[in-house]
Structure 1
């Protein structure tokens, strides 16, 4: 049982959307597995770990009294490991050997050992959206790869993305908002370019639906439901799913493909994946270079017999259900980073 010290006054309805992910399963949506492995304590002396309860990026934007820094200093006096959560596309680098920072993405070559990539905790589409249970696909002669989403190669779209990026950086600099700097990355244009490259390859079967905005950019409920179903059906019907980063250096689609039991084709943009020291990611996805994406995918597909292809799909779904959900992820983190 891991005993957690935190600031209980923060565990209220107002902070529900920015709460440290593990605390969500202990306070807002309590479940037996979380409570049988973790327990909240009011005493820092008996705690195994101290968790700052909310996303520090959101908190630091309003912290005028240096509450966070004082809290870190106070807890550090007790030599208790500290966990913090930096949400959002860009995350935050916090330099303190006693602090483990959880973030969605970042650049592997620049991240410290104290930065942990947290998975995107996605819901199971088979539960609410799709009308069938999970099944595996057999290996086809050609690798079939799917994609539905924002992929626009127009100049106007590029300018719009750059203006949004510039606006965000100006605001961050003006108000001294705490967030790591990321260079401009035209995700829509880059997706469009790589997807077109794949479409032109006769040895690959591509099933792509290009959209200008996320979920088709439509707020109508019925149309949104239709486009969402279309999105997940595309993943379900194709053995491989094209995955490229968005504003931040990570892909939500990567985890959606995994939970659906399909094989992500992840374009390497200096990505760090979760639990890299305990998960052999080469057994779950195809990490490719943007310059050799065609050959990398073909080599992977041709090297795997049908039985192995089917097993990878089963293992990918199992990976999310048993290791990359909120509770099980932090159980593993506890075993890796906390003293017994």
Structure 2
């Protein structure tokens, strides 16, 4: 396993600004295997599916359509037993794991089951690992919880950590390496919402009227104010790059999610449409030096993980995002980072970054993107390093 490399933007220790968790657990360099305890009886009774972490031990996982029936978890299923060991009781475990994902309990209206299990862990003096894999920033209301989530809209808590989107390795390896040209090319293939009078009115209501700023599910709320604040950010970013004279743009813009595949009448038609949209996306990645990465409904980008897997450096428009292992990885140095206050300068930031690279550095940043995905963001890489969240400072 490759260790973090300080010369490439990695820190040897967690950021001092991030409070550390798991103080009762001491795991040294020679002890990377966590002893975990779970109980499938505390999965959601309506849909008793397990979180991805438990795949090596249980076979009924919940998948989104972008990872269902793909190779996303193939490697982790084989190697996961080397990263975790099932403990026979809570007392024997380093940490407890909620068997289902938090959004599953929320959607099923069975949050009381999850909270009972968290309480049992607390009574045993254990922390409980909770995974939440959907767009909205729903907190887990238990003091002993460690919440792993792809999206945090605001008020990040010390017990909240970044979680990758579980994307497959679509091409079983990175896209072919590109050689440096004088001008950078940037691709984007996806949904872009253009503002209309109706959508502007909805945006105003969600961001300015307090009683419309919350979405509620099973008694736990997550703010929509920030979601709608960034509703048209992709369209703005696309226009900013189109307007920049020093950047070549390769944009394939759709008005609907997944190029409207979900609007097809039959399951077979949806499958064909999704495959066609995926092929267009992958072709766009292969034909571009960089790829635009902007948040969607949630404060994260599924596309970011696909871009990294393909070995393409993302032009990353930050919106106060929480990325995995940000206590070890200096993401601002690893990506072509556009700070939130400088979104209108995205084209110039990209042009300056590209101009500052040698031909060798240009190629190396492609290899580096793929390497980071393999080592830290793929299911296998993420869980291989999972013990680091509990490592004593």
Q: Match for residue 116 of structure 1?
A: 161
TM-score (norm 1): 0.86
Q: Which of the numbers 180, 190, 208 marks the counterpart of 2:222?
A: 180
- Structure 1 contact 99–114 (Cα < 8 Å) conserved: yes
Cross-structure match for 2:245: 202
Offset at 1:63? 5.1
Cross-structure match for 1:291: 344
* Distance in 2 between residues matched to 1:211 and 1:157, nearest whole Å: 19
8 Å CA contact 1:60, 1:68 repeated in 2: no
Query: 2:385 corresponds to which residue?
Result: 332
Note the C-alpha offset of 1:277: 1.4
Bigger shift: residues 88-97 or 261-270: 88-97
SS at match of 1:291: helix
Structure 2 match to 1:136: 177
* Superposed displacement of residue 179, structure 1: 4.0
User: CA–CA distance in 2 between the matches of 1:141 and 1:65?
Assistant: 55
Displacement, 1:309? 1.5
Higher helix proportion, which one? Answer: 1
* Paired position in structure 2 for 1:248: 298
Structure 1 position 4 matched with structure 2 position 57: no
1:42-101 deviation line (CA, Å, top 9, x unaligned) = 311111110111122331454568333332222112222210112311132235553210
1:230 deviates by 0.7
| Contact 1:124–1:259 (CA under 8 A) maintained in structure 2 | yes
For 1:337 and 1:39, the matched residues in 2 are separated by: 15
Structure 1 distance, partners of 2:294, 2:143, is 32
Distance 1:120 1:70 in 2: 27
User: For residues 58 and 162 of structure 1, do their structure 2 counterparts lie closer, same or farther at Cα, with a shift above 3 Å needed?
Assistant: farther
Residue matched to 1:22: 53
Structure 1, unmatched stretches of 5+, are none
Q: Which is further off, 147-156 or 244-253? A: 147-156
Provide the TM-score with structure 2 as the length reference: 0.75
Larger RCO: 1 or 2 (CA < 8 Å, sep 6+):
2
Aligned pair partner of 1:150 in 191, 210, 217? 191
Contact 1:57-1:179 within 8 A present in 2 as well: no
1:212/1:113 Cα in 2 relative to 1: closer, same or farther (>3 Å)? same
Distance in 2, Cα, partners of 1:137 & 1:267: 23
Q: For the residues of structure 1 that align with 2:95 and 2:330, how far apart are their CA atoms? A: 27
Match of residue 309, structure 2, among 234, 259, 265: 259
Higher alpha-carbon deviation: 238-247 or 178-187:
178-187
**More displaced stretch, 181-190 vs 248-257:** 181-190
CA distance in 2, matches of 1:227, 1:65: 36
Distance of 1:133 and 1:215 partners within structure 2: 22
Task: Indicate whether 1:316 and 2:369 are aligned.
Answer: yes
Q: Return the match for 1:226 from 276, 280, 284.
A: 276
SS at match of 1:3: strand
Aligned length: 332
Q: Tell me the distance in 2 between the aligned counterparts of 1:139 and 1:161.
A: 44
> How well do the aligned residues superpose, as a CA RMSD in angstroms?
3.1
Q: CA separation in 2, counterparts of 1:244 and 1:65? A: 31
User: CA 1:276 to 1:170, structure 2 compared with 1: closer, same or farther past 3 Å?
Assistant: closer
Give the 3 Å change call, closer, same or farther, for CA 229–72 of structure 1 in structure 2.
Answer: same
State the Cα distance separating 1:162 from its structure 2 match. 5.0
- Conserved? CA contact 1:3–1:46, under 8 Å: yes
Q: Distance in 1 between matches of 2:388 and 2:245?
A: 47
Corresponding residue to 1:275 among 311, 316, 325: 325
Partner-residue secondary structure (3-state), 1:323: helix
Give the counterpart of 1:32 among 66, 78, 81.
Answer: 78
Cα distance between partner residues in 2 of 1:226 and 1:164: 36
- Contact residue 161 and residue 324 of structure 2 kept, 8 A: yes
Secondary structure (helix, strand or coil) at the match of 2:245 reads: coil
User: 1:236: Cα distance to partner?
Assistant: 1.4
1:307 is the counterpart of 2:352? no
Question: Judging changes above 3 Å, is the alpha-carbon distance between structure 1 residues 251 and 94 closer, same or farther for their aligned structure 2 residues?
Answer: same
Moved more, 50-59 or 1-10: 1-10
Shift of 1:226: 2.1
